[in-house]
Structure 1
């Protein structure tokens, strides 16, 4: 049994399969999930687990070279907007509809229980060397 880090076996296994350039969508409970990507659904109840908690857990495990979010987060969810700005100084912002299109090409989708709008980010994996 693992001592620390991500204990969910489905999520830990999916993360271990990622490579440089793969994308991971971390999304709220309302984001439509397209057919195609592997999905690890962590949603339990509205707000549980929170977007911030899951994102920070993933960032502890992954090398991330870029992040993209919906520009609508700026006006609709100031808390998520501030969180994304703090974690990703070079955050790319695109229309939400475009983010949904890009989600179809993600290697992995991690669905949280977040119940506030536009708490979604597409992470691009980097390398540790």
Structure 2
């Protein structure tokens, strides 16, 4: 066994296959996963594995430039919203409101992988847009750094708390 790494072989494989702009959908236990989706089912009991545990793990394993979720989370489930903010503080990720209908009808059919949790939290469905390390690209002195990379670098360096 490798220490401090993902033990689930299919999860490790699917994350390794992700590239910039691929979407990883982390869902609650009841999300309607498309039949043809690559599905990693981590839910094994009520609340286990919890969606927040999965998001924390993913935050350590991949770069995320955007976290999309239902805007109701902010007003209807403020504790979940604060916890997700804490997870993605200083990650450089932006928050984007996506309705549940959009997650089901538009996002889910085109994601790279769906990770289903055992969470029974209301509105606990998150579309993570994979990114690259903003400090590893555009490092040569004679190259122009793209504005999006400058902005992400600044959000990370300033410990910015993402807001919906």
Determine which of 97, 110, 122 is the counterpart of 1:117.
122
d(CA) in 1 for partners of 2:17 and 2:9?
Answer: 12
Asked if residue 95 in structure 1 is aligned to residue 82 in structure 2, the reply is no
> How big is the shift at 1:123?
0.4
Where does residue 16 of structure 1 map in the other structure?
16
> How big is the shift at 1:98?
0.8
Listed one character per residue, the Cα deviations across residues 14-61 of structure 1 (whole Å, up to 9, x for unaligned) are 111111110000111011111232110000101001111111001100
Q: Which runs of 5+ in 1 are unaligned?
A: none
d(CA) in 1 for partners of 2:76 and 2:104?
Answer: 17
Please give the residue correspondences for 1:33-52 in structure 2 after superposition, counting only pairs within 5 Å: 33-52=33-52
Q: Which runs of 5+ in 2 are unaligned?
A: 137-164
Runs of 4+ in 1 over 4 A off after TM superposition: none
* TM-score w.r.t. length of structure 1: 0.91
Structure 1 contact 39–110 (Cα < 8 Å) conserved: yes
Larger radius of gyration: 2
Structure 2 contact 27–117 (Cα < 8 Å) conserved: yes
Aligned length: 129
